[in-house]
Amino acid sequence: MKVVEQGDGRTGWAKEFKCTGAGNGNGGCGAILLVEGRDLYHTYHHDYGGGKDTYTTFTCPQCGNETDVTGVPSSANVRGSKSSNRDSGWK
């Protein structure tokens, strides 16, 4: 097979998101990013009543801020989980 026109490099599910810092104190840089499933991870917030909220999050490569996103299909192959600034450390 021959490539007639180069693609954008994605290897699976991908979607453009804006770095907003949503769910993490805001303060994102506004960069528009092509985010793939491997760029996403789950973060959690535990409340005092024992409840746990799960978020799908990416870290902006430009400013380092985390942004929570919605609308990610289960087929996106989100990698592991990381506690964000709501908790601490990878799980």
Q: Domains of the chain: which residue ranges?
A: 14-76
CA atoms within 13 A on the CB side of 9: 4
Q: How many helices (H) and strands (E) does the chain have?
A: 0, 5
Q: Which two tokens stand for residue 78?
A: 């989100």
Rounded Cα distance between 83 and 54, Å, is 10
CA atoms within 13 A on the CB side of 13: 14
Kindly report, residue by residue over 26-79, the tens digit of the pLDDT. Answer: 999 999 999 999 999 999 988 888 898 999 999 999 999 999 999 999 888 888
pLDDT at 83: 57
